[in-house]
Amino acid sequence: MTDATAADMTIAAATSRGLWGEAARRFLNHRLATLGLVMLAVIVLACVLAPLIAHYGPNDIDLRGRNQPPGGIHWLGTDGTGRDIFARILYGGRISLTVGFVAVAISAAIGIFIGCVAGYFGGKVDLLLMGLIDMVLTFPRLVIIIAFVAVVGPSIFNTMVVIGLLSWPSIARLTRGEILSLRNQEFILAARSLGTSPSTIILEHILPNVLSPILVAITLDVATVILLEASLSFLGLGAQAPAASWGNMLRDARTLSILESQPWMWMPPGAMIAIAVLSINFVGDGLRDALDPQHIMGGK
Amino acid sequence: MGADMLAIDRAARAIGQQAVLSVQGLSVEFGPSGNSVYAVNDVSFELAEGESLAIVGESGSGKSVTVQTLMGLIRKPPGRVTTGRALFRGRDLLAMPDSELRRIRGRDIAMIFQDPMSSLNPVLTIGLQLTEALREHQGLPVKEAERQALDMLDLVGIANAAQRMQAFPHQFSGGQLQRIGIAMALVCKPSILIADEPTTALDVTIQAQIVELVVRLQKQLGMAIIWISHDLSLVAGFVDRVAVMYAGSIVEQAPVERLFAAPVHPYTIGLLNSIPSLNAANTRLVPIKGAPPNVTLPPTFCAFAPRCEHTVARCREAKPVLETVGAGHATACWRWRELAQAPRMPAAPIERVAAAPASQAPLLVVSGLKVHFPIRRGVLRRQVGAVRAVDGVSFEVMRGETLALVGESGCGKSTTGRAVLGLERPDEGSILFDGKDYAGATGDALKQRRRDMQMVFQNPFGSLNPRMTVGRIIGEGLRAQKIGTRASRDARVSELLALVGLREALRNRYPFELSGGQRQRVGIARALAANPKFIIADEPISALDVSIQAQIVNLLDDLKTRLGLTYLFVGHDLSMIRYLSDRVAVMYLGRIVETGSTNAVFGAPLHPYTRALLSAIPVPDPKAGGTRRRIVLGGTVPDPSRPPPGCHFHPRCPLATDICARVEPQVRDFGANGAGRHLVACHHAGEATP
Amino acid sequence: MLSYLLRKLLLSIPVLFGVTVIVFAIAHAMPGDAVLAMITAEAPSSEELIAMRRGELGLDQQVYVQYLNWIGQVLHGNLGRSFVNGRGVGDIVGERLPMTLELMGVALLAAFVIGTTLGVISALRQYKLTDYSLTLAGFVGVSIPDFFMGLLLVYVFALELRWLPSSGISTAGENFSLLDNLRHLVLPAAALALFRAAIFMRYARAGMLEVLNQSYMRTAKAKGLRPGTITLRHGLRNALIPLVTVFGLALPTLFGGSVVVETIFQWPGIGLMFIDSVVNRDSPVIMGYVLITAIIVMLANLATDLAYSVLDPRVSYD
């Protein structure tokens, strides 16, 4: 009995791209996602290569050129102490982006681990961990982070660690939920009935299938954390002067005169936050579409 | 001859009458032009006043899109009507603005849908949903609308209608919801009712209730019906005419008796051959080869050509149009004339290869099996009860036989299958496999059992890990059991691919690249990898198209003979079960009510539930309608957490007496000497049904 | 239903216990204590005096005893006294909470109404220019941080156009009037609301799109109902249900946002109080603030569950 059919032949005609090839194709077809990826790449590169791009260091003071509007030798002008805004944005971006990526890496590691444990073992362990998650989620995130920073003192390192240590519950909850819904899938039953061991089931069947929604959540979390860090720094509880971060560059704008008459000091860093976050959100949205399991789960 | 004449007569009368609906050359595409899905291609049909027409086709045949287009229900975009007219009493439904069509929808043409649960709004009371069409179209005041809605609920057989008007959809069973859906469609007394697979989501006994209801209401209200279905057997019993659709086109239409007696299109013939007939269980099914069509190609050729036994060059070059075959009978096939001369069947019926006679030694003995799922309620989540999914089940499976476990949804048949394999932990009972008790097996004992026993799952989409290649899926059991070396496992996977009829090239594909039938073959190959003796097949064909079902059933049949397998087949499609099983066990609400050889159970059922179930099976024979006695059961299956006392079936049983409500019936053997055992659990087994 | 609520309340007891432990731990770990704060305020000090004062306040006891003392006080409604001005924390919060609730309430309501409306419109116009523009605007909305939005609003509407005041809750030196208060409210509320409106819009759009694909919508259309009736009665009602969750999730972020926005606009609510207390290491006020926000969030979560059961008859909770 052979199975040479129309559907079969069309499958044979198209070369198999595999799962990741298919996902990459869908991602690149997503115009905003591609745009986001390009913008993000430009921002990251510019920040990494800051010394090559900017003519000034972030803390170089141009005594004759304080409060300079954009133009001339200072592309985006200078601040009240004569520091080059453009340079500070590039170097500040290093801090903002690093905090974003490192804090999310910490929270993702904790969140995925706790989510897997709760989801797979269930029962009392699950109850306990869910209680812990509820507890942490009861605190408004920015509020509890501020309270912790008040204890350990403000610094970039502390900001990163505190955000990382307090941001895992949403990822843990997502991971757990995904695992619970997967546990009832027939292919997990099939694996159990074939005698596949629990560790193999987790590694081969569960993790690859929960990875895509988690990846999407992690990406979007980077955006959220960049916003959090910016808020903290704006409040004076994140990166400390003289170091620049996008958030603390807006601190000067708390003075109405600067806010009104020297917008070049606060608008560019604010815009950079928005652009970086926007690009990451575009990428996250594209990933969501590209990794949507419905494309490969089939069904009608 | 009599029947044929009658049919032609009836068709002629129908045509002579004024057509209430006339669809002419309808084509519908989805998606951007140039990258379209050609869902409906040049479809034409007429519907006379009071007539009932069935449109039959498999998934993707365009049958639902056709009727939804008439109602203006397809979303545009992505849908587009490219050509055609649909005249309702002379007015073109497709040309009028939506505001005008809206006044026809629900008032003159009403519709009922497939899944009664999802087609009712979950957050609105059924009272509101029933009255809103009346208020919209007839401007009735609330009180009057409610009165008429109540009358309609009574008419469709909803008890306590007045109180239930305030209830929400989730408070009803599926069968009741479909009755409500029908009431909702009929409140404005439409002249056409479109029924879009209204029974597909329902159990067979409930399906029988709904069909009976619709037929009765059609007579009472004198409306015309278009009944959309994938099931030729179902519509055979009650429609006047049938139109068969394939890949968006009508390939044949005829009066119902004529279509079954003298089909001419190869697809119609193929469909009829792939349905097991209740009378000829020993003829092998003749499946249609291949998989459902690809509707992304422009309809410039006969879409059935890739699967047809009679394809010639012309079939691939041009699309045939409907030609008249006889009175009311038309087909779209280039070769129908030549083929009609030739013998109707492609070959003489093939005798089913008789499997080696089943031995009398049981391979599996299940006794007193109980699986209960706890229900926790209240502040402290205390266990307040249990869903008695399996409540004391005993059966044997002999070496080399196929035992079918049948019953309606929720009867516990799947849970029983899973418990046998150790996927559910039994609360009580023993499971002897090859003489060893495995009921509470863990660790190595369980592992050994899983070498000998495997499962084929129902859902061809959910049962394969979407992120594994076909090769890895099939080889999973070998890796799990650490059988052989990497090279020998690879070789075994190739062997298995060939065994289930898949090309080697599919080894590196992912499930999403496969058709439903191919996926199910992968599932079968996976189960066979470690050379098991015993296969539990949990509804392995119910998610597949009719023409593919026969392929899979034949494959299972071949494998059984070739590999000397024993099957426990869990299913609800009784005609398939009759075809492929040696013995049958009928389950109702967690218990087995009747067990016996397939011939005995189907030929002379003794339990009143079995009788009702069998009488509800649709038969692919329009003439059987008059002679068969239908026992339509009232009510629905009770909640398995609170089964009725005594015999679980007594509240719905036509034979029930006092004792049935008090005493659980013992299993008694009614087997004739030499014909094997025929076990029935009923106080009134074998008594004539009133 | 009642049993479900009881169960929820019971389950929130251990969570609440954990919350108080965390709050206490933060305060305990904070450098400086009440005595040091007072001593620095009072004049000359000696080690003996410090020890004596600590003894009076029970600060020389075991940590858990201190915790029990504190929780006992909290249960009696006593949140301690501010190190900075010696006033009762409860009094300060009681005075300032209404301002914050006014700000948050108006912002949340505006965000919900605007966001949901635009989201539904966007879904109904899927694949059209309106949808693309709104979706893009939504992306931008969730990418602009509260404080930058606040600064932009002040720059444009208070400094450039001079339409609205830039800070405070009322004009200094004038008698308090509601209209004046509302004028002051517009910008901070908008700063908080726009971000959340974008979030509501995205969820409302997704929810509505999902609902539009449901078969009951097809049934409603097949009955010949008017498009408006279909959208509002059959669609919106169902699309709103998942938004309840978004509502519940938005509340905690509003507390965070209000801290920032109150700082920019010098809005004298508890957010501004919190930031001041962090700067001054005024741990009783910090504890009081964190505890109260946590309790409000908890109550909001309970209310979310309740709202679910009201909106969705399928939820039976037993």
Question: What are the tens digits of pLDDT across the range A106-122?
Answer: 999 999 999 988 988 78
Report the CATH number that the domain containing residue C165 is assigned in CATH.
Answer: 1.10.3720.10
Q: Are A18 and A273 in contact (CB under 8 A)?
A: no
Residues C302 and C238 in one domain: yes
Contacts of B606 (CB under 8 A, 6+ apart): B594, B670, B678, B680, B682, B685, B686
Chain C residue numbers touching B119 (CB-CB < 8 A): 215-216, 218-219
Instruction: Dump pLDDT digits (tens) for B618-667.
Output: 888 887 755 566 777 877 778 888 888 999 999 989 898 999 999 999 99
Q: How confident is the model at residue C185 (pLDDT cuts 50, 70, 90)?
A: very high
- What pLDDT score was predicted for residue C245? 85
Contact B379 C127 (CB under 8 A): no
Overall domain count for chain C:
2
C12–chain B Cβ distance below 8 A for any pair:
no
- What pLDDT score was predicted for residue C54? 64
Whether the ω angle into residue C145 lies within 30 degrees of 0, i.e. cis, is no
Does residue B440 carry a pLDDT above 90? no
- C88: in domain: no
**Selected residue with higher pLDDT from C41 and C243:** C243
Contact B459 A186 (CB under 8 A): yes
Does residue C207 carry a pLDDT above 60? yes
Q: Mean per-residue pLDDT for C260-287?
A: 90
Does residue C52 carry a pLDDT above 70? no
A10–chain B Cβ distance below 8 A for any pair:
yes
Contact B113 C215 (CB under 8 A): yes
Q: How confident is the model at residue B274 (pLDDT cuts 50, 70, 90)?
A: confident
Which chains neighbour B (Cβ–Cβ under 8 Å, 3 or more pairs)?
Answer: A, C
Domain that includes residue A215, residue range = 31-297
- A210: in domain: yes
Q: How far is C217 from chain B (nearest CA, A)?
A: 8
B170–chain C Cβ distance below 8 A for any pair:
yes
B136–chain C Cβ distance below 8 A for any pair:
yes
Q: Are B577 and B584 in contact (CB under 8 A)?
A: yes
For B480-547, the DSSP string reads HTT-S-HHHHHHHHHHHHHHTT--GGGGG--GGGS-HHHHHHHHHHHHHTT--SEEEEESTTTTS-HH
- C69: in domain: yes
- C36: in domain: yes
Q: Are B510 and B470 in contact (CB under 8 A)?
A: yes
Judged by DSSP in three states, B121 sits in: coil
- What pLDDT score was predicted for residue B76? 81
Q: Are B310 and B335 in contact (CB under 8 A)?
A: yes
Residues C140 and C20 in one domain: no
Identical fold for domains B2-108+190-341 and B362-595, yes or no, is yes
- C90: in domain: no
Give the range among B66-80, B616-630, C139-153, C174-188 with minimum mean pLDDT. B616-630
Q: How confident is the model at residue B184 (pLDDT cuts 50, 70, 90)?
A: very high
Instruction: Dump pLDDT digits (tens) for C67-106.
Output: 888 888 888 888 888 877 888 888 999 999 999 999 999 9
Residues C118 and C233 in one domain: yes
Q: Mean per-residue pLDDT for C272-298?
A: 89
Which chains neighbour A (Cβ–Cβ under 8 Å, 3 or more pairs)?
Answer: B, C
Chain C residue numbers touching A253 (CB-CB < 8 A): 151
Q: Mean per-residue pLDDT for B494-522?
A: 91
Q: How far is B418 from chain A (nearest CA, A)?
A: 9
Which chains neighbour C (Cβ–Cβ under 8 Å, 3 or more pairs)?
Answer: A, B
Chain C residue numbers touching A89 (CB-CB < 8 A): none
What was the ipTM of the complex prediction?
0.86
Chain C residues 241-270 with a CB less than 8 Å from chain B: 241
Does residue B358 carry a pLDDT above 70? no
Report the CATH number that the domain containing residue A130 is assigned in CATH.
Answer: 1.10.3720.10
- What pLDDT score was predicted for residue B2? 42
C236–chain B Cβ distance below 8 A for any pair:
no
**Selected residue with higher pLDDT from B439 and B187:** B187
B198–chain C Cβ distance below 8 A for any pair:
no
List chain A residues with pLDDT less than 50.
Answer: 1-15, 299-300
A213–chain B Cβ distance below 8 A for any pair:
no
Does residue B329 carry a pLDDT above 50? yes
Does residue B534 carry a pLDDT above 90? yes
Selecting from A7, A195, A298 the residue whose C-beta is nearest the C-beta of B292 gives A7
Chain C residue numbers touching B118 (CB-CB < 8 A): 214-216
Between A and B, how many residue pairs show a Cβ–Cβ distance under 8 A?
A: 131
Domain range annotation of chain B: 2-108+190-341, 122-188, 362-595
Whether the ω angle into residue C44 lies within 30 degrees of 0, i.e. cis, is no
Does residue B3 carry a pLDDT above 50? no
Locate tokens 């409930």: which residue? B206
**Whole-Å CA distances, B322 to B48, B250, B253, C130:** 19, 8, 9, 45
Contact C224 B105 (CB under 8 A): yes
CB neighbours of residue B336 within 10 Å: 19
Judged by DSSP in three states, B20 sits in: strand
**Selected residue with higher pLDDT from B169 and B546:** B169
Does residue B379 carry a pLDDT above 80? no
Chain B residue numbers touching A204 (CB-CB < 8 A): 465, 468
Q: Are A107 and A221 in contact (CB under 8 A)?
A: yes
Taking the C-alpha atoms of residue B19 and residue B11, their distance in angstroms, rounded to an integer, is 12
Give the range among A105-109, B340-344, B637-641, C187-191 with minimum mean pLDDT. B340-344
- What pLDDT score was predicted for residue C149? 93
Residues C27 and C174 in one domain: no
Contact C297 A139 (CB under 8 A): yes
C156–chain A Cβ distance below 8 A for any pair:
no
- What pLDDT score was predicted for residue B201? 82
Contact B133 C225 (CB under 8 A): yes
Chain B residue numbers touching C221 (CB-CB < 8 A): 71-73, 105
Domain that includes residue C205, residue range = 97-311
Show the CA angle centred on residue A216, arms to residues A211 and A222, nearest 5°: 120
- C65: in domain: yes
- What pLDDT score was predicted for residue C53? 65
Q: Mean per-residue pLDDT for B300-305?
A: 90
Across B277-294, b (16+ Cβ under 10 Å) vs e yields: bbeebebbbbbbbbbbbb
Does residue B346 carry a pLDDT above 50? no
Question: What is the reported pTM?
Answer: 0.85
Instruction: Dump pLDDT digits (tens) for B196-225.
Output: 999 888 888 888 888 989 999 999 999 999
B348–chain C Cβ distance below 8 A for any pair:
no
- A6: in domain: no
Contacts of C118 (CB under 8 A, 6+ apart): C134, C138, C197, C201, C204
Does residue B488 carry a pLDDT above 80? yes
Whether the ω angle into residue A169 lies within 30 degrees of 0, i.e. cis, is no
- What pLDDT score was predicted for residue B17? 59
According to the per-residue pLDDT averaged within each range, which of B298-302, B346-350, B520-524 is highest?
B520-524
Average pLDDT, chain B: 87
Q: Are B293 and B39 in contact (CB under 8 A)?
A: no
Contact C26 A147 (CB under 8 A): yes
Chain C residue numbers touching A142 (CB-CB < 8 A): 253, 255-257, 259-260
Does residue B447 carry a pLDDT above 80? no
- A237: in domain: yes
Overall domain count for chain A:
1
Mutate: best of C12, C216, C314, partner B, most B CBs <10 A: C216
Task: Pull the structure tokens for residue B250.
Answer: 């009508």
Q: How confident is the model at residue B469 (pLDDT cuts 50, 70, 90)?
A: very high
- What pLDDT score was predicted for residue A9? 36
CATH number given to B362-595: 3.40.50.300
Instruction: Dump pLDDT digits (tens) for B121-172.
Output: 999 999 999 999 999 999 889 999 999 999 999 989 888 888 889 999 988 8
| Whether CATH 3.40.50.880 fits B2-108+190-341 | no
- What pLDDT score was predicted for residue A2? 33
Locate tokens 């523009």: which residue? C133
Taking the C-alpha atoms of residue C240 and residue C308, their distance in angstroms, rounded to an integer, is 10
- A202: in domain: yes
